[in-house]
A and B are shown apart, each in its own frame.
Chain A
Amino acid sequence: MRKNRLWLPAILSLFFSFQLIAQPTFPENGVADPRHGHYAFTNATIVKDAANTIANATMIIKDGRIISVGAGLAVPAGAVEIDCKGKYIYPSFIDIYTDYGTPQRQQTGGGGGFNFAQQPQLETAIKGPYGWNQAIKSDVDVYKVFGVNDVVAKPLREAGFGTVLTHVKDGVARGTGAVVTLANEKENLVILKEKASAHYSFNKGTSGQAYPGSMMGYIALLRQTYLDAAWYKNKPYMEGFNVSLQSWNDNQGLPQIFEANDKWNDLRADKIGDEFGVQYIIKAGQNEYQRIKEIKATNATYILPLNYPQAMDVEDPADARFVSVEDMKHWEMAPSNAAAFEKNGVPFCITTSDLRAVNTFWSSLRKAMEYGLSESKAMEALTKTPAMILGIYDKVGSLEAGKMANFLITNGPIFSEKTNILYNYVQGIKYGVKSEDNIAGTYNLTVNTVAGAEKYTLEVKSSSSLSMYAKDTMNNRFSFDGKQIKLSYAPMQRRQRPAPGDTTQRRPGGGFPGMGGAQTQTLPATATRLSGMSNGTEWNGTGVDSSGNALTWTAVFIKAAEVKTDTVKKKDIPAMGKVTYPFLPFGWDEEHQPKQETILIKNATVWTNEKEGVLQNTDVVLKNGKITAIGKNLNEAGARTIDGTGKHVTAGIIDEHSHIAAASINEGAQSVTSEVRIGDNINPDDINIYRQLSGGVTSSHILHGSANVIGGQTQLLKLRWGANAEDMKFKGWPGQIKFALGENVKRSNFNIQGGNNRYPDTRMGVEQVLVDAFTRARDYKKQWSDYNAEKDKLTKEKKPLTGLIPPRRDLELEALVEILENKRFITCHSYVQSEITGLIEVAEQMGFKVNTFTHILEGYKVADRMLKHGSNASTFSDWWAYKVEVEDAIPYNAAIMHKVGLNVAINSDDAEMARRLNQEAAKTIKYGGLTQEEALKLVTLNPAKMLKVDDKVGSIKVGKDADVVVWSDNPLSIYAKSLYTIVDGTVYFDRQKDEQLQKEVDAERARLVKKLNGEKRSGAPTIPAIPSYQIMHSCSDHGHSHGLLVIDSDNLDNN
């Protein structure tokens, strides 16, 4: 062991002033100095890869490459032998997700939503032969802008990395990444693979262009770009030269890496890939453990960051009140993310990306291991897996002859708590990381003062701590930087003198764990000060004594410190709460998953919504997700029986107009965005799903917002609490699309700096946007039919198809063609009679139908016209007076339209009101005198009709879906509560069970607060409690406050 003392101690932060590797094409300024870096590392434990370790082995390197690795190898002539007894050699790590060496960028755009109060940048601001959208930067090749940056490289090397993949983290398509080593050498030499990957994200980065301004916009942009790029392969002359599309195509053969950063975004990214036959490698977030089954099903390899939420200070109950169980539990469970991947067999790499600082890598990695990540998996994730992905396993990722000499030398097993990385060799060049702590031991110090030699014994503990004594103990301050020594000392003051054997005074690194830094002892100004250098087993230097006299000194190594064996037992994985679905309060864990049941509701008042009307003392059977029987005295073997005596049974409430459960709602950057789809960004982690179930809602129609004339495609959901995005979707529903008219699309009610610059600014312009869009759609349809006819003709004539270029597929127009072909149906946000009539006229002229007018507060004025056109109407019960276009809104609107013969619904457009829709419907009894049955249909059967799902839901009828609510009272009464809300025969809300769940939420909360408080008391750093704000999306139509912690998505900063 002591032999190692003879090593040249590592010198931290050493900058090489000359190139170690000579480049033949570069002229030499001086005398040639060829070197080959020929070394033999002997007697080491060599870990070739996660699976193969050789004891007492030798590795020989030369010219930056490994010549041979094995046991019993002879040291070749010309090689310098380095004795690595007691040391370990590992392949250095590979970080597949960095922007190392790329130029700094100004983040201006970002993922913010559409800002109603700002003039949008409608076109790209970049000059050149690029594509239309500034966020598509597929033409960027990082190797062209890459520059070695040792300030960034050094901490990565110190963390054990030798190779990284770097790319410019800017844009939705980010161009190509390059594999580079972290050697501080000329760029030519460190680039291992200049085009190793292609990168994508849901973040437009520096693009100030307004589109895309939403998650669905990002997805739509990617989808359209895939199509455009495929079309561009035909070299369509009308497109000219488009470097963005060309590069996009060129990059397709590379590994495709998608930065998603969140469990749902991971799935969204993977889904885009599936559409175009691309399997992305996905840069994950920290919350994939919450949906690991879905994550596994992507078949993707993931890149895991190790940043975890910081512990919050929740000592103050009034502050803790606003921190949700969700956030606290995520703090608790995030370190288990990597372990969840391993346990479920999902392949992954590990990155330093997203860490607050690279030097927290090891503590974060060890935390992941404490939570169950195995050593071998960690090793693989840091070496072989990324190397295989990038096709560089022939160069790096393991220690084998022929590979690059990228390796680490450590003083113990690398993942062991006490081990340090001593050296990181990159391309055969040594970079010191941590001085070997081999100075520990006993030394005899001789200080040659004017008065003669003074003798002391030094017990060196570390490079910053020793104890020093002769007869008396001396207070001292000591440092050793690998070469230089500094030591000051003075006799200890009487009151400071510790009891014999007490060493606490000299304990290094005092204070709380994690605080860092040695506790310095106070020394008087008269202390003797020594400085010098280590020459191996001997230190020599000069100094000044307490009186200012010069002196010299020598310290001689006597014996090594006793090494304490590491007796730390493997810790158990810390206890954690259970993952619930969704990862929210009132979610269910796997053992309590709500199941489809056979249910017999006995003796209830049943509101059928059918010709049978309201049936008294009636039974209903739900089986296999359907309503199977309605009648008296029914029996159903094995059924769960619900006593319906005194209770009311209705079909589940259907909300025609909702904005819950979506990651984004408005893609407002253009006036026509029919290509965006709410269904692309469903967010099942919305507490409002559960809250609305508690109000009897079973289906919600999630609409695009009203920022533009032709908004996005909508999504009908069933409120299957805990299901993933795809499973929440209403199956067998023909799609709809949101349109909007009036003040919102004119942006009338926003104080836009510089004024509105987005067409249209008047209702006249709104009409023209519609005319133009459908004219283009008709032309588009014709282009395709012409093309197909020509193709058929040529095929029939057995002529070659070469030269026949298909039209560009345009997803915006395809959605409009679907409308023209009666395959997609419109729901149009609208208020005043002029615009209602205007849209109807356009529709009739262009040959489509306006399926539903939603909001439609002046529908009562033109109900006859709407009826003639064949529209449905979905409105608010009693909203008005908040803007000019609702000045003539009246609560009698629904009743008048109903009496005129329209199919009318009452909708919410509001997460709060949605849980009282039965009561909103009841207002039509007050305003307009509808019967109770008519009123109930406004929120059940009628919306089912306008959504074209009345064959499945909306009434209590045998054969329909078992979407049923059991109410405590007449469902139109303000005193009525949903006791059971059932979707597909599965009870998703049970008022009694809800009480139990509330107790569990409270208990979980108490447990987590206690745990966080314990963390704080144990000295761990905490950050102030941050209230758990919720983002709520809306039409951007009205100013309804939703409580202290709700942030309207429109008010989010656009950064």
Chain B
Amino acid sequence: MKKIFLALTFSGSVLFAAAQANVLPAEKQKTPIVITNATIHKGNGEVVENASIVIVDGKIKEIGTNVSVPAGSEMVDAKGKHVYPGIILPASSLGLTEISAVRATNDVREIGDMNPNVRSIVAYNTDSKVINTLRSNGIVAANIVPQGSFLAGSSSVVQLDAWTWTDAALKTDAGMHLYMPSMLARPGGGRFGGGGGPGGPNATPQTDPVKEAIEKLETLKAFFREAKAYNATSTHDETNLKYEATKNLFNKTQKLYVHGNTVKQMLAALDFVKEFGFDVVIVGGSESWQIPDLLKQHNVSVILQQMHSLPTTTDDDVDQPYKAAAALQKAGVTFAISDDDPQTRGRNIAFNAGTAVAYGLSKEEALAAITLNVAKIMGVADKTGSLEVGKDANIIISTGDILDMATNDVTDAFIQGRKINLDDKQKQLNSRYEEKYQIKEKGKKGF
């Protein structure tokens, strides 16, 4: 039944009017699958040519140039193709925001400054139409992150082929998200001139934003101290949900994701390492290239949230944002590359990584930045992130280099050994209008 369905989907037929409602989550893997003749990029830096991967019960059983093929295996010939670990989007509002301009479709930001008890996973919409467009580009998992003005709540890692959020969850509440107060002075009073002239820059700011931010952070540290004491005893006259929500930060099964970009914001975040012993991840990190040694020294990881960005200052190297990844790599910082673009919702993550290659990373390092490094930061590297024996079979196959849009062409994807349907709403609309204009072949004109 399902095979027939898949065949229909890929034939470019236009029988389906309901956009992607018929893209069903794949069933549990039943027969072994062997991908053969592939160039395998393991995600851990290793590349093997002409190699095979054996997938059994959703796990990678064997990988290499000389594998034993289980009887009855479904063979996938990947000759001339590249095989990669499925990409993990490190920080995303996927499933929480459908159309940012429509308030009703936004479930991403709760009211209040202190929301440690808020959990993104419960609002994650597995039927978001955005999800399938990401799978089409090789993204198989994502970290679903709540937004906020301060302590925003917890994120969960999901795989992108599920009926419900409970099915989707790979690791729930894996991260607590702190949005750093701004530490940049805003021009006070004076308006910006209209002529490109020096209008506003000399307007004196009214307050010292760094001091204000530090004071605000002190209130958070006080909260954590109280939470720690609270959680040290098991009985309480009154239950405090906010304190309880921090428990996993202290037992280190949850990381503290600190959203910030400036050096001062990142330095302030080190307090959470030093005083509370939290595992800290910087999200944003556009200025992290300035302090990679300090980040390394404190075992702080970085998610570069928007690599395709303009340089921070007019004085910066025109390609400065593209070079940030190489600076972190060189210093040995564990970092991931994300794609936060609200117009494309993360589907260009591989090309962000590709840009980092043009500016100093090796291709395999860039691949790790969107696969294994992400898994490490999320705390799911035991399950996924690389093509290694024993891990979940989260695998994608592309006809060409996945980091380059000119060659990126994902033909197959597997999540936990399940071959997923790579159709999406946009492909369906494409088919519908290819039909309208009688466009027969890719790359040829219809009339």
Does A931 sit within 8 A of B, measured CB to CB? yes
Does A926 sit within 8 A of B, measured CB to CB? yes
**Is there an interface contact between A1030 and B343, defined as CB atoms closer than 8 Å?**
no
Within the assembled complex, what's the spacing in Å between the Cα atoms of A422 and B408? 81
Assuming the A-B contacts A1024-B185, A1043-B309, are A974 and B102 also in contact, with contact meaning beta carbons closer than 8 angstroms in the complex?
no
Chain B residues in 8 Å Cβ range of A1024:
185, 204-205, 208
Does B312 sit within 8 A of A, measured CB to CB? yes
Binary contact readout A551-563 vs B (1 if CB under 8 angstroms, 0 otherwise): 0000000000000
Q: Which residue of B lies closest to A1037 (CB)?
A: B343
Chain B residues in 8 Å Cβ range of A913:
308
Does B195 sit within 8 A of A, measured CB to CB? yes
Does B313 sit within 8 A of A, measured CB to CB? yes
**Is there an interface contact between A111 and B194, defined as CB atoms closer than 8 Å?**
yes
SS of A interface (majority) = loop
Within the assembled complex, what's the spacing in Å between the Cα atoms of A1025 and B287? 18
Assuming the A-B contacts A318-B264, A324-B314, are A881 and B437 also in contact, with contact meaning beta carbons closer than 8 angstroms in the complex?
no
**Is there an interface contact between A975 and B354, defined as CB atoms closer than 8 Å?**
yes
Within the assembled complex, what's the spacing in Å between the Cα atoms of A577 and B404? 43
State the interface size on chain A (CB cutoff 8 A).
117
SS of B interface (majority) = loop
Contact of B198 among A309, A586, A688 (CB under 8 A): A309
Does B201 sit within 8 A of A, measured CB to CB? yes
Within B419-445, which residues are at the interface with A (CB < 8 Å)?
A: 425-427, 429-430, 433-434, 436-437, 439, 442-445
**How near does chain A come to B421, taking the closest CB pair, in angstroms?**
18
Binary contact readout A1034-1050 vs B (1 if CB under 8 angstroms, 0 otherwise): 00001111111111000
Assuming the A-B contacts A321-B313, A882-B342, A974-B405, are A749 and B101 also in contact, with contact meaning beta carbons closer than 8 angstroms in the complex?
yes
Binary contact readout B283-296 vs A (1 if CB under 8 angstroms, 0 otherwise): 00011001000000
Q: Report the stretch among A15-23, A884-892, A951-959 that lies at the interface.
A: A884-892
Within A102-121, which residues are at the interface with B (CB < 8 Å)?
A: 110-112
**Is there an interface contact between B98 and A896, defined as CB atoms closer than 8 Å?**
no
Q: Report the stretch among B32-40, B115-123, B344-352, B388-396 that lies at the interface.
A: B344-352
Within the assembled complex, what's the spacing in Å between the Cα atoms of A1047 and B186? 10
**How near does chain A come to B106, taking the closest CB pair, in angstroms?**
11
Within the assembled complex, what's the spacing in Å between the Cα atoms of A880 and B424? 14
Does A603 sit within 8 A of B, measured CB to CB? no
**Is there an interface contact between A325 and B185, defined as CB atoms closer than 8 Å?**
no
Within the assembled complex, what's the spacing in Å between the Cα atoms of A973 and B400? 12
Chain B residues in 8 Å Cβ range of A891:
426
Q: Report the stretch among A364-372, A465-473, A860-868 that lies at the interface.
A: A860-868
Chain A residues in 8 Å Cβ range of B344:
878-880
Within the assembled complex, what's the spacing in Å between the Cα atoms of A330 and B130? 47
**Is there an interface contact between B406 and A896, defined as CB atoms closer than 8 Å?**
no
**Is there an interface contact between A925 and B406, defined as CB atoms closer than 8 Å?**
yes
Chain B residues in 8 Å Cβ range of A1040:
341-343
Binary contact readout B178-219 vs A (1 if CB under 8 angstroms, 0 otherwise): 000000110100011111111111111100100000000000
Chain A residues in 8 Å Cβ range of B261:
1044
Within the assembled complex, what's the spacing in Å between the Cα atoms of A686 and B314? 9
Within the assembled complex, what's the spacing in Å between the Cα atoms of A1040 and B321? 15
Does B319 sit within 8 A of A, measured CB to CB? yes
Binary contact readout B77-109 vs A (1 if CB under 8 angstroms, 0 otherwise): 000000000000000000000111110000000
Q: Which residue of A lies closest to B358 (CB)?
A: A975
Q: Which residue of B lies closest to A111 (CB)?
A: B194
Chain B residues in 8 Å Cβ range of A927:
430
Chain B residues in 8 Å Cβ range of A748:
101
Assuming the A-B contacts A881-B130, A882-B342, A926-B409, are A888 and B198 also in contact, with contact meaning beta carbons closer than 8 angstroms in the complex?
no
Does A1026 sit within 8 A of B, measured CB to CB? yes
Binary contact readout B265-289 vs A (1 if CB under 8 angstroms, 0 otherwise): 0000000000000000000001100
Does A704 sit within 8 A of B, measured CB to CB? no
Within the assembled complex, what's the spacing in Å between the Cα atoms of A1030 and B286? 17
Assuming the A-B contacts A330-B198, A975-B354, are A1023 and B343 also in contact, with contact meaning beta carbons closer than 8 angstroms in the complex?
no
Chain B residues in 8 Å Cβ range of A900:
437, 439, 445-447
Chain B residues in 8 Å Cβ range of A433:
none
Chain B residues in 8 Å Cβ range of A718:
none
**Is there an interface contact between B342 and A1039, defined as CB atoms closer than 8 Å?**
yes
**How near does chain A come to B270, taking the closest CB pair, in angstroms?**
14
26 A/B residue pairs, CB under 8 Å, sorted by A: A111-B193, A215-B195, A287-B198, A309-B202, A321-B263, A326-B314, A584-B314, A663-B194, A684-B196, A879-B343, A880-B426, A884-B102, A892-B430, A892-B433, A896-B433, A899-B439, A901-B445, A919-B405, A923-B405, A1023-B202, A1024-B205, A1027-B184, A1027-B185, A1028-B313, A1038-B342, A1044-B286
The 7 closest A-B pairs by CB, nearest first: A262-B197, A929-B442, A883-B101, A683-B196, A262-B195, A929-B443, A974-B354
* Partner-B contacts on A (CB < 8 A): 110-112, 202, 214-215, 261-265, 268, 285-287, 309-310, 312, 318, 321-322, 324-327, 330, 584-586, 663-664, 681, 683-688, 690-691, 694, 743, 748-749, 860-861, 863-864, 876, 878-884, 887-888, 890-892, 896, 898-901, 911-913, 915-916, 919, 922-923, 925-932, 935, 970, 972-977, 994, 998, 1001-1002, 1005, 1023-1031, 1038-1047, 1052-1053, 1055
